[in-house]
Structure 1
Amino acid sequence: MTIPSAPNSSGKKPFLYVVVCACDVAGRVGKLITAAQERDWDVGVIATPQGLDFFDPETVEALTGYPVRSSWRTTGRSPLPPPDAIAVAPASFNTVNKWAAGISDTLALGVLCEAYGTYTPTAVLPYVSEAQAAHPAYRRNLKQLSGMGVLIGTYRAHRPDSGGEADSFRWEKALDLLEPKVARMR
């Protein structure tokens, strides 16, 4: 069920940050961007430094109308407005574990760590191998994030070195998780 996103108090569309990690499926992030735009969101993308190598930033910038961010600003204002919600899709093993530990060594992780303190609704769609998903720290850290209010999407972990099942990655699940929470906040 799609719940239309209501404009925020300023009359503007809600703004979604999509945080993209270094995962094979990241090249299809346009699916999430397009789905969000069809549901009346504006979208900006923040990538982990390694995540930049997994999709075409120029294509994403043309699709969103905003520059892809991956590093800290040295001066000036952010080219992206503050987010009404954040979708971490796809989320790597590394990002999930660092985020839960409060490590803020990249712009993407800094945004995610700050989201907790600003009460920004955040959903995560993990994309990990079976071997990574079996690691006790990963399971513990997903539980930690859930306890912090992060909405956790499900994905069947893929066999190591298989490249995953990109066609079965449900990009829209991030929106399905976020929209009811954002609607309640408006």
Structure 2
Amino acid sequence: MSERVLYLMICGAGPADQIDRMVKLAQADGWDVWCVATPSAIEHFLDLDALANLCGHPVRTGHQRTGQPALPKADAVVVAPATYNTINKWAAGIADTYVLTQLAELTGLGVPIVVLPFVNTALAANRVFLRSVDELRASGVTVLFGDGGFVPHPPRTGGQAMERYPWRAALDAVWTRSQR
């Protein structure tokens, strides 16, 4: 088992259907991947058993219950696919899901975090979203939005954009951040 622990925070957006790509890339880079998923990702996109088998750990879907082992200390975090909702709530300090609670805490601890959004051009043009991206960046979070990261797609074309989703860019960025 690797000594480097990567939390993969999974939100409910199209690329979550292909989260196995990210897990396999991260494992090939030597990360021990621990997945934490939002309710929307769980309900609409993920096969929790298959993902747990791939990672070798159960997918965390909520707060730790009695008798449930704690997550190991994270060396780094990737949030992918990061939704409009999660990015805006996180930047505003709202922690109404387990993923958001963890992100708030990990941000405060200074753990290296890389965010790979998945939003369309209409959502990306919203001033609230742009302020949220700026706020997260000001908090020390790397948001891969724009050239070199995720470039938004026109509304209702997300299925076509998934093949271009830059999983590798997130892993390269988290590696760079975790070496500082």
- Whether TM exceeds 0.5 here: the answer is yes
Deviating runs (4+, > 4 A) in structure 1? none
Q: Which residue of 1 aligns with 2:81?
A: 90
Q: What percentage of residue pairs aligned between the two structures are identical? A: 37
Matched, 1:161 2:156: yes
Q: How many residues align?
A: 174
Q: Find the residue that maps to 2:167 and give its secondary structure.
A: coil
Cα-to-partner distance string for 1:58-92 (whole Å, 9 max, x where unaligned): 11101101111111123245442121110000000
Q: Which residue of 2 aligns with 1:179?
A: 175
Q: Find the residue that maps to 1:112 and give its secondary structure.
A: helix
List runs of 5+ in structure 1 lacking aligned partners: 1-10
**Of residues 20, 28, 32 in structure 2, which corresponds to 1:42?**
32
Q: 2: CA distance between counterparts of 1:21 and 1:139?
A: 19
Relative to the length of structure 1, the TM-score reads 0.89
Q: 2:121·2:153 contact (CA, 8 Å) conserved in 1?
A: yes
Matched, 1:61 2:52: yes
Q: 2:12·2:40 contact (CA, 8 Å) conserved in 1?
A: yes
Q: 2: CA distance between counterparts of 1:182 and 1:139?
A: 25
List runs of 5+ in structure 2 lacking aligned partners: none
What root-mean-square deviation, in Å, do the aligned CA atoms of Structure 1 and Structure 2 show?
1.4
Q: 2:2·2:31 contact (CA, 8 Å) conserved in 1?
A: no
**Of residues 18, 25, 48 in structure 1, which corresponds to 2:15?**
25
